[in-house]
């Protein structure tokens, strides 16, 4: 990419029912904002679908956005966050001048199926992902990045292709022996607890409650540390699955805190309303979302922001569904409020607040209480589950102060209903 010219237009590609990338439309940026327009060729296909059914419904009109990055959220979902940006800046001689250039550089390596190109005939071909056999070498390279050490050209070649996922923590995408993609998360030197072990325990326990969770693993690496692996639900062997985050669906550039989350355009209730409008199975998905919200409150999972919720689109059936759960785990040091609005008490992390929102999920209060009681019962054995999952005694001691306190408060409130 030339350092002399700033690119302000790119072509957007996504998969057809056969899994082949097709031209979806054109994106542009200017000092005033950004634009997106679907292509004629995409619009007139019998299987054509909207990239964002809320903010970019299928039409030949030109859509505009004035958000800070001048790019629609569903396209930004494919961009890296702090960690991926750091890797990209280390790996290239020049820095992207805008979000459009960043997306072109990383095309095909981010979440979902959307790809980008300066050519309207084909997307930029992504570099192949590293294989799981290289996990120890990847771990060493990731550690060097976290320590602000310089990387060799070989290390950069190894780590760059799988580094574009969002989030600030060290992570990499790789493929297993059968060609399936996995996101691998590593520990950091300043971690208060072993987040790989804790996330593995939290997600495997969430799966045991009946919530839709991708396959997760915990793996010991050569430096004696552990990494957490989650199977990429947005990737099949040879193609991507269309993904849109709740953050993109909300399309709210500047968040504010509401005393009552029923007025919040970017909270759990707002997401439930979207599910009830566009999900192929709105009742099931709303119940599932409610369970995840309650589970997060009970374990102290306060990092439940809008990028940690999503919907996926099945191109073959033309159906939207709530995505499998991801990034659900206790967060040490940030208790008391969830990252998204919950119920009539705003973001307050309480079961009372969660149950107050039940009607907005299409759930009767009695059913919400039953769901909550079942989750409390399942979580009563959290300590044994976490211990069996490999969480160390010191971390269990820290987490006990969070989870046991939340369970006790929830049980007291439920008992009085």
pLDDT tens profile 132-189: 877 777 777 777 666 666 666 666 665 655 555 555 567 888 888 888 889 888 887 7
Q: Which residue has the tokens 């939340």?
A: 406
| Percentage of the chain exceeding pLDDT 90 | 61
Query: Cα dihedral angle (199, 204, 209, 212), rounded to 10 degrees?
Result: 90
25, 41, 103, 127, 296 from 121: Cα distances, Å:
11, 12, 17, 19, 44
Average per-residue pLDDT for the chain: 88
Q: What would the pLDDT profile of 205-218 be if each residue is shown by its tens digit? A: 999 999 999 999 99
Q: What's the pLDDT score for residue 1?
A: 43
Q: What's the pLDDT score for residue 125?
A: 73
Rounded to 10 deg, the angle between the 282-299 and 268-278 helix axes is 160
| Percentage of the chain exceeding pLDDT 70 | 87
195 class by beta-carbon count within 10 Å (0-12 exposed, 13-18 middle, 19+ buried): buried
pLDDT higher than threshold 70 for residue 131: yes
CA dist., res. 206 & res. 212, Å (int): 8
398 class by beta-carbon count within 10 Å (0-12 exposed, 13-18 middle, 19+ buried): middle
**Is the C-alpha dihedral spanning 314, 315, 320, 324 positive or negative?**
positive
CA dist., res. 285 & res. 211, Å (int): 10
Do the Cβ atoms of 211 and 294 come closer than 8 Å? no
Q: Which residue has the higher pLDDT, 269 or 239?
A: 269
Query: Which two tokens mark 254?
Result: 């500047």
CA dist., res. 38 & res. 44, Å (int): 10
- Per-residue pLDDT band for 341 (boundaries 50, 70, 90) equals very high
Q: What's the pLDDT score for residue 150?
A: 64
CA dist., res. 360 & res. 82, Å (int): 34
76, 376, 377 from 70: Cα distances, Å:
10, 43, 46
Among 140, 108, 102, residue whose Cα is nearest residue 124: 108
Q: Go through the domains of the chain in sequence order and give each one's CATH number.
A: 9-117 (no CATH), 132-231 (3.30.200.120), 242-415 (1.10.1070.20)
Among 102, 81, 110, 84, residue whose Cα is nearest residue 14: 110
Complete edge-to-edge strand list for the sheet that includes strand 181-185: 171-175, 181-185, 226-231, 216-220
List the alpha helices (DSSP H) in 260-312: 268-278, 282-299
Q: What's the pLDDT score for residue 123?
A: 78
CA dist., res. 250 & res. 263, Å (int): 13
Among 123, 119, 117, 120, residue whose Cα is nearest residue 104: 117
Considering the entire predicted model, what is its pTM?
0.91
Q: What would the pLDDT profile of 292-328 be if each residue is shown by its tens digit? A: 999 999 999 999 999 999 999 999 999 999 999 999 9
| Cα atoms in the Cβ-side hemisphere of radius 13 Å centred on 308 | 19
Rg (the chain; Cα; Å): 22
pLDDT higher than threshold 60 for residue 93: no
């Amino acid at each position: 990419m030339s350092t002399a010219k700033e690119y302000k237009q790119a072509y957007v590609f996504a998969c057809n029912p056969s899994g082949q990338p097709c031209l979806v439309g054109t994106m542009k940026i200017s000092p005033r904002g950004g634009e997106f327009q679907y292509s004629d060729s995409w619009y007139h296909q019998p299987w054509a679908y909207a990239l964002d059914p809320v903010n970019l419904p299928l039409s030949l009109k030109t859509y505009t956005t004035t958000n800070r990055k001048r790019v629609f959220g569903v396209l930004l979902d494919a961009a890296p966050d702090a960690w991926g940006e750091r890797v990209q800046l280390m790996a290239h001689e020049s820095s992207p001048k805008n979000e459009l250039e960043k997306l072109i550089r990383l095309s095909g390596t981010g979440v979902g199926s959307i790809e980008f190109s300066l050519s309207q005939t084909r997307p930029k071909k992504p570099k192949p992902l590293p294989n799981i056999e290289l996990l120890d070498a990847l771990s060493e390279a990731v550690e060097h990045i976290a320590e602000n050490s310089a990387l060799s050209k070989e290390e950069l070649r190894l780590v760059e292709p799988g580094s574009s996922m969002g989030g600030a923590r060290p992570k990499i995408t790789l493929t297993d022996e059968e060609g399936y993609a996995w996101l691998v998360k590593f520990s950091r030197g300043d971690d208060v607890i072993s987040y790989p072990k804790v996330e593995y325990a939290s997600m495997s326990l969430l799966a045991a409650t009946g919530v839709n969770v991708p396959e997760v693993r915990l793996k010991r690496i050569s430096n004696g540390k552990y990494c957490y692996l989650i199977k990429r639900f947005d990737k099949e062997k040879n193609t991507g699955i269309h993904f849109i985050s709740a953050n993109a669906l909300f399309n709210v550039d500047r968040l504010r805190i509401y005393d009552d989350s029923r007025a919040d355009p970017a909270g759990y209730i707002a997401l439930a309303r979207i599910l009830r409008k566009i999900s192929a199975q709105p009742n099931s998905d709303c119940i599932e979302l409610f369970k995840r919200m309650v589970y997060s409150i009970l374990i102290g999972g306060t990092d439940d922001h809008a990028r940690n919720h999503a919907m996926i689109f099945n191109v073959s059936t033309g159906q939207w569904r709530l995505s499998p759960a991801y990034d659900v785990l206790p967060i040490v040091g940030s208790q008391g409020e969830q990252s998204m609005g919950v119920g009539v008490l705003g973001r307050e992390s309480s079961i009372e607040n969660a149950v107050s929102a039940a009607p907005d999920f299409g759930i009767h209060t009695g059913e919400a209480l039953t769901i909550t009681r079942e989750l409390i019962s399942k979580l009563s054995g959290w300590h044994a589950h976490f211990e069996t999952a490999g969480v160390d005694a010191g971390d269990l001691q820290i987490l006990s102060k969070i989870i046991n306190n939340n369970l006790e408060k929830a049980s007291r409130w439920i008992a009085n209903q």
